[in-house]
Amino acid sequence: MKKIIFTFSLLLSMCIMSFGQTSEQLVSSCVMSAGTDAKYLKDFRVQLGKSADQAELRYKANMSLWKNTKYRFNMCNADNSKGQLILTIKDDANKLILSSYDKNTGRSYPYVDFTCNKSGIYMLSYDFINGQQGSGVGVVSMVK
């Protein structure tokens, strides 16, 4: 009985560790895709199910950005994602500053650069196009 419990515990821990490594590998590859001129600041791991309501992006986070600093926002998808990860940035007055998705053309960009004109707290919102389900990571870097 002890051998069965030990074997089960070992298999369970290996499964948990393998999922963690997959997430870490996605973050690492996304950080590397930011380029050599970018310095990693923060990452946001996004995992969302399918949504019927596509009016507003579902994953929200606040981040302090500094005036006269150029930032790069990379969006990377996990292999099993059905949708493309997108980002919008709004200021403290809830005014749209930047988006990685153009609704008029249907085009999405894997990264966007943003030079901050005013220091403050900005709301970063992530989701997948058309409310699709998926996993991904958004990486924020400072560009030299």
Q: What is the pLDDT of residues 33-76, one digit of tens each?
A: 899 999 999 999 999 888 877 677 899 999 999 999 999 999 99
Taking residues 115-132, report their average pLDDT.
94
Q: What is the pLDDT of residues 67-95, one digit of tens each?
A: 999 999 999 999 888 889 999 999 999 99
Quick check: 66 and 117 in contact, CB under 8 A?
Answer: no
Would you place residue 22 in the very low, low, confident or very high pLDDT band (cuts 50, 70, 90)?
Answer: low
- What is the CATH number for 84? 2.60.120.380
Domain span holding position 67: 2-143
How far is 135 from 33, CA to CA, in rounded Å? Answer: 17
More confident residue, 14 or 34: 34
Q: Provide the β-strand partners of residue 76.
A: 137
Would you place residue 144 in the very low, low, confident or very high pLDDT band (cuts 50, 70, 90)?
Answer: confident
- Scanning the chain, the segments in alpha helix (DSSP H) are 2-33
Number of structural domains, the chain?
1
Q: Provide the β-strand partners of residue 111.
A: 74
For the range 2-5, what are the long-range contacts, defined as Cβ-Cβ under 8 Å and sequence gap of 24 or more?
A: none
